[in-house]
Amino acid sequence: MINWMSVQTIRNVFSVETGYRLSDDQIVNHFPNHYELTRKDLMVKNIKRYRKELEKEGSPLAEKDENGKYLYLDFVPVTYMLPADYNLFVEEFRKSPSSTWIMKPCGKAQGKGIFLINKLSQIKKWSRDSKTSSFVSQSTKEAYVISLYINNPLLIGGRKFDLRLYVLVSTYRPLRCYMYKLGFCRFCTVKYTPSTSELDNMFVHLTNVAIQKHGEDYNHIHGGKWTVNNLRLYLESTRGKEVTSKLFDEIHWIIVQSLKAVAPVMNNDKHCFECYGYDIIIDDKLKPWLIEVNASPSLTSSTANDRILKYNLINDTLNIAVPNGEIPDCKWNKSPPKEVLGNYEILYDEELAQGDGADRELRSRPGQSLGPKGGRSRDSGRTVLTTWK
Amino acid sequence: MESCGRSATPPGLEGVALCRRCPVGSNSAIPPGHHSQDLQASLQRPEIKLESLKEDIKEYFKISGWEKKLQNAVYSELSVFPSPSHPAAPPEHLKEPLVYMRKAQGSWEKRILKSLNSMCTELSIPLARKRPVGEQKELLNKWNEMGTDEPDLSLFRPVYAPKDFLEVLINLRNPNYENGDSLSFRTHLGLIQVPLKVKDIPELKEFFVELGLTTGQLGIDDSTQVPPELFENEHVRIGQKVLAEQDSAAAQQYIRQGSPTALRAELWALILNISSQPEDILYYEQLKTNVIQHDLLVDSLIYKDVKLTASNDDYYFVFEDYLYQVLLCFSRDTSVLGHFAYNSASPPKSYIRGKLGLEEYAVFYPPNGVIPFHGFSMYVAPLCFLYHEPSKLYQIFREMYVRFFFRLHSISSHPSGIVSLCLLFETLLQTYLPQLFYHLREIGAQPLRISFKWMVRAFSGYLATDQLLLLWDRILGYNSLEILAVLAAAVFAFRAVNLMEVTSLAAAEAVLADLSTLKVMPLLQIFLFATVT
């Protein structure tokens, strides 16, 4: 039996107090401590920790450039927790006082509670020393993260957009994850401007459909969405094939790295699988940034195309989690046959990568498929690595 | 390479003379920004001596790349202008040799103009007016986001829609042709009843020989299952070489097998002989100024069209603002008037208020002579996937229009004209799918009624963008629109089984409503080369 649960239910199911145990033929659609990846503050914490570990080991992945920036692992914008890191943040802020930062509540979704700041005074409340601070308590629900705002996003037709990609994880150790080929781009309805007068206009800055659909110009036919294939066609046509392929390779890279970062702390319960919604922004230098990972990506639809996509997504997800439509047995090896993948492609399979002669016959084709193939080796100058740890 | 016109390229010196004869601006379809001034300056270099003038110039052309540019320019002229006709033929023959077609086009134009004028009178809006300074400033500020402007367009209607035009074509008759009342196997069962010569499948196979089963194609042989070493890698390599050589004719030949996505923008520019010179950018800026200063009635028609079509399209909604920037400028571009020399249509004339009939007060309206109809903006939309720089996008669109798109909405006997395309489509269907044709006709679903809109828009908005671009590659490669009719027939052939089961026009429309999953190259290949006839 497959139990499709909300995050609240998962908390209950796996809570020590309830003493609920899943039987062998039950599987669920979340990992017990998925929040290690899906909460904004914990995700950043885990990635920072992962980077430090690699650095300590002397791994080539953790190589830095002359400015101290990670060459291969700099994919999350500079982020601090508030109020805990307030002073660290202020130091960073003062280094480039004209920059914009984005404040996000750790535990909320759909763009709720997000705002932009460009002056320290706008976040006085979170200062630890502030007498008016009401955040002395450890209540994690009130915590915020503040990240450097990417104010040079890649614009198409003058509009900002972000990428929503679906990634299915069937097990963390060994890591086995799949990328859904039919991701999409979400466009803002209003032209982008970095002008400070429009910092309050969420229609310019936040791409969440939950926000955009209240805009005046929201169109219910296309919903402001493009398929990733459209994006690929556009970029290849206007920027060239190499840089586009490099961009998509980097996107796959950062997704896998983020999963590896949390793999050690994840409760790899054999009853679990999970489909995440990755939000990625591309800047105008064609560098992708990981913004956040969602545990319960919206499965409602805003347009007809959307409905078909989400239906297929759920269908394909379940086919991989429970192939053959049989009663699941959580002891199985979680290695589904190729035919059931549907619109998913193997993003990374740790077992295959560690084995010899990884499967390489699928190729990345423009306009057709997205992801790289299982156990791929990097081919864009990082050929240093032939096996991933 | 005969067909590419290479043999007709004059050697060095004559090339110079030809260049000087090409008029700059008004009467030519070639936009200003011509090379002749640069050329004259280059000829004054010290290496060129009087004694060996001819040889020196030839040599200089070769090394400086001018020879290539001249060849491309000549090739471009040859592609656009019809071949020289009888010296005694009047200029109307260049536009359209058949009198009855000319007459039909003339009446159609009168109708359109009447419709435009009556809309104008009804709404009491002038055809053109100068904008007050405040409005000009506002528009300049909003230039990059005209899509957010929400003028009240509810009273405007498109001047005509493709189906109105279809009715005109259906009623076309050649007064010299009498096919009798009795039905015979020769009777054409379709809607078009004029006797124009169209190609049959053997002739099409010859014409489109590069689309054959034994030749590699992009759109087929680059799919995931095919290893790239077999065709794709080599094809890309050749494409890069063609671009490096900057040879229009070679590019046109090359692109018959499809263009790699990364090379397409440059290849199309090469084939259309577009290079963004500073004077081209300046010209575009000048057009932009014209838009800012004057408001035209057709502007509202353009707005309405974009809002009705491209803004709702899954692929093109992103580029809404570019469409305004291109189309508003296009309306004011008088260099487009040059193409009326070989277009059966003529630009509508309007008179300054109160001076009706007085030739010295006549102006062309709109300034470029082209009245947009419902769906016009879809000609521009796919180009936005290739060019994001407005002036380049503009140039490419303008050239595509004066070479190809104008034929899709004017009445002429040209093989790429819409009348011939319709007839070609119907003939292919009747000859090779007679059962289907007969069935559809019986249930009141004449196939042309469904496929007409596809062809008028060159399939823009009906196919997925990557497929559309592969199709337009071939339009450029073969310098012909006939492929649109062949594709339309191929689509019917593909869905024949379902179509045989429908019992109404509405049901037939439903079967053919969604073409977005079709792969055009396999369809074309199967229809032309793999169907048992």
Most confident of A76-85, B104-113, B348-357: B104-113
Check CB contact under 8 Å for A366 and B261.
Answer: yes
Query: Is the CB of A366 inside 8 Å of chain B's CB atoms?
Result: yes
Chain A 144-163, CB below 8 Å of chain B: which residues? 156-159
Nearest to B466 among A222, A233, A305 (CB): A233
Q: What confidence category does residue B15 fall into, taking pLDDT thresholds of 50, 70 and 90?
A: very low
Cβ-Cβ pairs closer than 8 A, A with B, add up to 73
First to last CA, chain A: 34
Give the pLDDT score at B520.
Answer: 95
Tell which residue, A167, A310, A161, has the closest CA to residue A235: A161
Query: Which residue of A lies nearest to B320 if distances are taken between CA atoms?
Result: A157
Is the pLDDT assigned to residue B18 strictly greater than 70?
no
Residue B229 has pLDDT above 90, yes or no: no
Give the model's pLDDT for residue B354: 67
Q: Are B271 and B476 in contact (CB under 8 A)?
A: yes
Percent of chain B, pLDDT > 90?
Answer: 50
Cβ atoms of residues B464 and B501 within 8 Å: no
- B453: β partners: none
Question: How deeply is A316 buried, as exposed, middle or buried, from its count of CB atoms within 10 A (0-12, 13-18, 19+)?
Answer: buried
Task: Spell out which residues of chain A touch residue B465, defining contact as CB-CB under 8 Å.
Answer: 230, 233
Give φ, ψ of A163 to 5 degrees.
-105, 135
Distance set, CA A357 to CA A333, A354, A372, A374, B349 (Å) = 20, 9, 15, 11, 73
Chain A CB contacts of B469 below 8 Å: 237
Report the DSSP beta bridge partners of residue B87: none
Q: Give the C-alpha separation, B489 to B428, whole Å.
A: 7
CB < 8 Å to A236, chain B: 261-262
pLDDT bracket for residue B509 (50, 70, 90):
very high
Whether B316 has its CB under 8 Å from any CB of chain A: the answer is no
* Whether pLDDT at A298 is above 70: no
**pLDDT in the model for residue A197:** 65
What's the confidence (pLDDT) of residue B128?
81
- A366–B315 C-beta distance less than 8 A: no
Q: Which residues of B touch A191 (CB under 8 A)?
A: 144-145, 148, 321
Taking only residues 317 to 346 of chain B, the set having a beta carbon closer than 8 angstroms to any beta carbon of chain A reads 317-322
Which residues of chain A neighbour B320 with C-beta distances below 8 Å? 157
Binned at pLDDT 50, 70 and 90, residue A204 comes out as low
Range B40-53 average pLDDT: 70
The band of A247, judged by pLDDT with boundaries at 50, 70 and 90, is very high
Residue A368: pLDDT over 60: no
Q: Which of residues 454-483 of B touch A (CB under 8 A)?
A: 465-466, 469
Chain B residues lying within 8 Å of A217, measured CB to CB: 147-148
Q: A227 to chain B, minimum CA–CA distance in Å?
A: 9
pLDDT at A132: 46
Best A237, A241, A284, A302 member to test B by mutation, with max B CBs in 10 Å, is: A237
Q: Is A367 on the interface with B (CB under 8 A)?
A: yes
Query: Could you tell me the pTM of the whole model?
Result: 0.83
Compute the CA torsion angle A369, A375, A376, A381 (nearest 10 deg). Answer: 140
- Could you give phi then psi for residue A157, rounded to 5 degrees? 60, 25
Number of H helices, E strands in chain A: 10, 14
Tokens at B136, concatenated: 């000009």
Structure tokens at B229: 């070493």
Q: Does residue B3 register a pLDDT over 60?
A: no
The Cα-based distances of B342 to B91, B110, B403, B412 in angstroms read 9, 19, 10, 10
pLDDT in tens, B238-283: 999 999 999 999 999 999 999 999 999 999 999 999 988 899 999 9
Which comes out higher in pLDDT, residue B25 or B526?
B526
Residue A133 clears pLDDT 50, i.e. is over it:
no
Model pLDDT for residues B373-407, shown as the tens digit of each residue: 889 999 999 999 999 899 999 999 999 999 999 99
Closest CA to B249 of B61, B521, B9: B9
Residues of B in contact with A361 (CB under 8 A): none
Percent of chain A with pLDDT over 90: 19
Kindly report the nearest CA distance between residue B67 and chain A, in angstroms. Answer: 29
Confidence of residue B506 (pLDDT cuts 50, 70, 90): very high
Residues 6+ apart with CB under 8 A from B113: B348, B371
Say yes or no to pLDDT of A384 above 90.
no
The segment with the largest mean pLDDT, out of A85-89, B115-119, B168-172, B186-190, is: B168-172
**B228–chain A Cβ distance below 8 A for any pair:** yes
ipTM over 0.90: no
Closest CA of chain A from B103, distance in Å: 42
Token duo for residue A367: 């306009």
CA distance linking residue B233 with residue A365, whole number of Å = 13
Cα separation of A333 and A320, whole Å? 12
- Which residues of chain B neighbour A365 with C-beta distances below 8 Å? 222-224
> How much is the average pLDDT of B412-431?
94
Task: Please tell me if residue A319 touches chain B, with a CB cutoff of 8 Å.
Answer: no
Nearest CA in chain B to A363: B224
Q: What is the pLDDT of residue B114?
A: 87
What is the full DSSP assignment across A252-318?
Answer: HHHHHHHHHHHGGGS---TTB-EEEEEEEEEBTTS-EEEEEEESS-----SSHHHHHHHHHHHHHHH
- In B191-279, DSSP assigns E strands to none
Q: Is the pLDDT of residue B178 over 80?
A: no
How far is A225 from A221, CA to CA, in rounded Å? 10
Cβ-based contacts of B321 with chain A (< 8 Å): 157-158, 191
Statement: residue A96 has pLDDT above 70: yes
Task: Find chain B residues with C-beta within 8 A of A207's C-beta.
Answer: none
Q: Under a CB-based contact definition with an 8 Å cutoff, are residues B335 and B287 in contact?
A: no
Which candidate from B312, B314, B318 shows the least CB-CB separation from A159? B318
Mean pLDDT lowest for which of A80-94, A219-233, A262-276, B22-36?
B22-36
Q: Report chain B's C-alpha Rg in angstroms.
A: 24
Pick from B264, B313, B321: CB nearest A157: B321
Nearest-by-CA chain A residue for B227: A363
pLDDT exceeding 70 applies to what percent of chain A? 68
Tell me: the pLDDT tens digits for B202-224? 999 999 999 988 888 888 888 77
For residue B424, give Cα distances in angstroms to B13, B199, B438, B457, B496: 43, 7, 17, 17, 18
Q: Is residue A388 predicted with pLDDT exceeding 60?
A: no
Distance CA B407, CA B424 (A): 15
pLDDT tens for B488-505 read: 999 999 999 999 999 999
Contacts of A234 in chain B (CB under 8 A): 385
Q: How far is CA A187 from the centre of its chain?
A: 17
Give, rounded to a whole angstrom, the gap between the first and last alpha carbons of chain B. 31
Residues from chain B that touch A369, judged by Cβ atoms under 8 A, are 224
Give A376's pLDDT tier (boundaries 50, 70, 90). very low
Residue B532, exposed/middle/buried by CB under 10 A (0-12, 13-18, 19+)? exposed
**pLDDT value at residue A371:** 36
Cα–Cα distance for residue pair B49/A51, rounded to 1 Å: 70
Of A219, A237, A368, the CB nearest to B317: A219
pLDDT at A319: 80
Supply the pLDDT for residue A202: 67
Chain B interface includes A229 (CB < 8 A): yes
Closest by Cβ to B466, choosing from A226, A363, A367: A367
Token pair of A146 as six digits: 């503040």
Mean pLDDT of chain B: 84
Least confident piece of the model among A5-19, B90-104, B133-147, B191-205: A5-19
Indicate the residue of B265, B311, B312 with minimum beta-carbon distance to A237: B265
Is residue A105 reached through a cis peptide bond, with omega within 30 degrees of 0 on the bond before it? no
The band of B42, judged by pLDDT with boundaries at 50, 70 and 90, is low
Using the Cβ of A312 and the Cβ atoms of chain B, whether some distance falls under 8 Å is answered with no
Q: Is B34 helix (H, G, I), strand (E, B) or coil?
A: coil
pLDDT digits (tens, 9 = 90+) for A308-367: 777 888 888 888 877 666 666 666 667 777 777 888 888 888 887 776 443 433 333 333
Nearest to A305 among B313, B314, B465 (CB): B314
- Quote the tokens at residue B475: 């339009």
DSSP string of A147-207? EE---SB-EETTEEEEEEEEEEEEETTTTEEEEES--EEEE-SS-----GGGTT-HHHH--
Relative to beta strand A288-294, strand A159-171 is unpaired
Residue B50 CA to its chain's centroid (Å): 46
Q: Say which DSSP state A70 is in.
A: B
Whether the predicted pLDDT of A92 surpasses 50:
yes
Per-residue model confidence (pLDDT) at position A66: 82
Q: Would you state the pLDDT for residue B134?
A: 86
A169-190 pLDDT per residue, tens: 988 988 999 999 888 898 887 7
pLDDT-based confidence at residue B53 (cuts at 50, 70, 90): confident
Q: CA-to-CA distance for A386 and A375, rounded, in angstroms?
A: 9
For chain B, give the percent of residues with pLDDT over 70.
86
Q: Which residue of B has its CA nearest to A240?
A: B262
Question: Which segment, A38-52, A113-127, A312-326, B132-146, is predicted with the most confidence on average?
Answer: A38-52
Contact A241 B384 (CB under 8 A): no
Task: Pick the residue from chain A with its C-alpha nearest to B219.
Answer: A367
Strand, helix or coil for residue B213 = coil
Q: B224–A191: do the CB atoms touch at under 8 Å?
A: no
